[in-house]
C-alpha cells in the first residue's frame, strides 16, 4: 500500500498565508460572500467538503452559504446554480454534476463577474473556473486496481460500478483502473463498467445481475460512495463475502462499517475537507485580485482494516456533520 501523503489537517489549512488576513470586503465594500454548490446535499463526501469550506471561511472572515440538489443530477443542480448566480455572490465553489450540462449556467456566472472555483468535478470548457481542485482520479483509479488485483490473487474477472458517464471524476477513475489492469495485470479479466446513476438500490441490482451472469466473478470496484454502499449490501445478501472482493472509492461511515465487517476489503479515501478549504482559499484570492493556482490536485490513500485505527487515517474519514 502506498504511503499516505499530502494529508493536510484543518489546522494547517487555516494557518496558511491566505487565511492570515481578515476579510477586507468585496468589491461592493461589504463582507466577501461565497456560495458552495455541492454535487449532492447530505452525501458524506460533500458534507465533509462543506465542513472544510466552513472552517476555512470562518478563519478568513468571509461569509459562506452551502446549497445542493437532493440527487446527483444536472437537471436538479442547474436551477440551484442559476439561483445562486442571480443572488450575485462574489464567488462560487461548484461541484458540477455533468461535464457538459453545467457549462451554460457556469458561463453565465462568469459573465456576471462571479469568481468560480470548480471543486471535485469539472466541466469540459477549460475557460470556466479560476481554479480547479480535485483528487488525481486517474491515479486513484489505478490505486484501486492495484488494491483489488492484490486481493484476488492477481487473477479472475472484475467489474466496475460507476455513477453516470460524463462525470469527470468517476470517468477518470475508470480510465485509471482500466489502464492499470491492462498494463500490469494480464490475468485479470476486466468485464466492463455498469452505471448505477448514483442510486444505492441500482448498484445492488447491478451486482446481483453480474453474479448471475458471471458466477465466478472475483472482484468489484465501486467508483463512488453510493455505488460502493449498494454493491456491498448486495454481496452481503448474496452470501458472497470473502469470495467476491470489493474495493470502494470514498470513506463514508457506512463504508467504514462495511470495511470493519469484511464486506469491503479496501477503500480509496479522498480528502474532501481539504478540497473545500482550498476552494475557499482560491475563491478569496480571486476576489481580492491575488494570485490564484489554476489546478490543484489532491491525494487519495488506501484504507484497510489493518490501518483503520491509525490517527492519520481517522483524520481523513468522511463525516456527516462538522
Q: What are the Cα distances from residue 151, in Å, to 10, 174, 203, 218, 264?
A: 33, 19, 21, 9, 11
48 closest CA partner among 279, 321, 299, 313: 321
pLDDT given at position 308: 98
d(CA 262, CA 235): 11
Same topology, domains 10-133+272-294 and 137-269? Answer is yes
d(CA 264, CA 220): 10
137-269 adopts what CATH topology? Rossmann fold (3.40.50)
d(CA 172, CA 249): 12
**What phi, psi does 221 have (nearest 5°)?**
-115, 120
The CATH number fitting domain 10-133+272-294, selected from 3.40.50.2300, 3.30.360.10, 3.60.150.10, 3.30.420.40: 3.40.50.2300
- Over the chain (322 residues), the average pLDDT of each successive run of 10 is 36 42 52 97 95 98 98 96 98 96 98 97 95 95 97 98 88 96 98 94 96 97 86 90 90 89 91 97 98 95 96 94 90
pTM listed for this prediction = 0.78
What is the domain partition of the chain in residue ranges?
10-133+272-294, 137-269
Amino acid at each position: 500500500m502506498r504511503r499516505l501523503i499530502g494529508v493536510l489537517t484543518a489546522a494547517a489549512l487555516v494557518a496558511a498565508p491566505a487565511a492570515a488576513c481578515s476579510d477586507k470586503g468585496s468589491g461592493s465594500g461589504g463582507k466577501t460572500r461565497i456560495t458552495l454548490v455541492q454535487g449532492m446535499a447530505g452525501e458524506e463526501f460533500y458534507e465533509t467538503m462543506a465542513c472544510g469550506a466552513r472552517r476555512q471561511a470562518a478563519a478568513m472572515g468571509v461569509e459562506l452559504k452551502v446549497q445542493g440538489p437532493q440527487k446527483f443530477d444536472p437537471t436538479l443542480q442547474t436551477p440551484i446554480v442559476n439561483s445562486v448566480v442571480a443572488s450575485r455572490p462574489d464567488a462560487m465553489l461548484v461541484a458540477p454534476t455533468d461535464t457538459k450540462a453545467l457549462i451554460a449556467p457556469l458561463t453565465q456566472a462568469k459573465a456576471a463577474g462571479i469568481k468560480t472555483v470548480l471543486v471535485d468535478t469539472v466541466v469540459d470548457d477549460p475557460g470556466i473556473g479560476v481554479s480547479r481542485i480535485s483528487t488525481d482520479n486517474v491515479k486513484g483509479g489505478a490505486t484501486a486496481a492495484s488494491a483489488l488485483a492484490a486481493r484476488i490473487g492477481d487473477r479472475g474477472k472484475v467489474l466496475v460500478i460507476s455513477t453516470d458517464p460524463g462525470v469527470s471524476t468517476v470517468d477518470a477513475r475508470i480510465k485509471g483502473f482500466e489502464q492499470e489492469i491492462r498494463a500490469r495485470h494480464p490475468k485479470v479479466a476486466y468485464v466492463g463498467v455498469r452505471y448505477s446513476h448514483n442510486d444505492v438500490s441500482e448498484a445492488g441490482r447491478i451486482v446481483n445481475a453480474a453474479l448471475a451472469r458471471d458466477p465466478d466473478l472475483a472482484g468489484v470496484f465501486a467508483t463512488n460512495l453510493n455505488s460502493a454502499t449498494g454493491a456491498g449490501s448486495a454481496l452481503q445478501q448474496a452470501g458472497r463475502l470473502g469470495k467476491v472482493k470489493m474495493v470502494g472509492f470514498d470513506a463514508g461511515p457506512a463504508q467504514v462499517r462495511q470495511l470493519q465487517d469484511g464486506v469491503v476489503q479496501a477503500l480509496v479515501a479522498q480528502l474532501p475537507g481539504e478540497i473545500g478549504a482550498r476552494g475557499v482559499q482560491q475563491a478569496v484570492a480571486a476576489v481580492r485580485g491575488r494570485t490564484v493556482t489554476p489546478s490543484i490536485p489532491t491525494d487519495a490513500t488506501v484504507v484497510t482494516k489493518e490501518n483503520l485505527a491509525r490517527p492519520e487515517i481517522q483524520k481523513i474519514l468522511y463525516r456527516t456533520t462538522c
